[in-house]
Structure 1
């Protein structure tokens, strides 16, 4: 299968995911609104409702961000530059696009961006997390 055919399959996947997210978000938002109107119960119920509202809110935020990224990827199809890294301009490997169809950068540029970022995520050696946990047990 050619790269062009693979990219077209990814376009279909993106459109399906976009439509599913739109439906999910519409349902989540209407459910949240409906639940706010039906408040009953004691303080424990109110606390549980608040926790659930926070979780739902975070889920809506994550889904909304994914929807934005998917819509940007679909727009790139229309512009003719879907599958190209925004930083270096090279084609993004198909395996990366299959894993994250809305990826906008290649792995090398993503790694560089993460290492250049000021975030603490780059400071954690995730591939060594179990080794660190075992070392804590030995030292403790």
Structure 2
């Protein structure tokens, strides 16, 4: 799917579900990482994440477009367009748009935890970030800290 097909699809969904025309631009933004799409308040354009089309198919993309069109139409009408607004949630249900999109499998990356142990008292520390073992000492006894490197 290219930008022109996306624009046509967005216009069709807007007329079919909202009975109102979509008069702005819909396009793919490759820099979006954690969201399926976003509605831009100042330009009234809709940006979509192409990864959702590739991974989950056109049906998921159509759901994201419906969601963003809810923001679009409510904002232009001067009604509550934010996620927490009652009008927004009611319109989502009315058109069958998802409140949240399905997470991408590529985002499900586990972060490596680092394990440290005091050389004197044996206290263990689990941290997400690396600790400078020359600078910090054990909080329990004041002994030196050494990183435990897991093999395997």
**What's the TM-score bracket when you normalise by the shorter of the two chains?**
under 0.3
Q: How does the TM-score come out when normalised to structure 2?
A: 0.24
TM-score, length basis structure 1: 0.25
**Higher percent of residues as helix:** 1
User: If you compute each CA radius of gyration, which structure gives the higher value, 1 or 2?
Assistant: 2
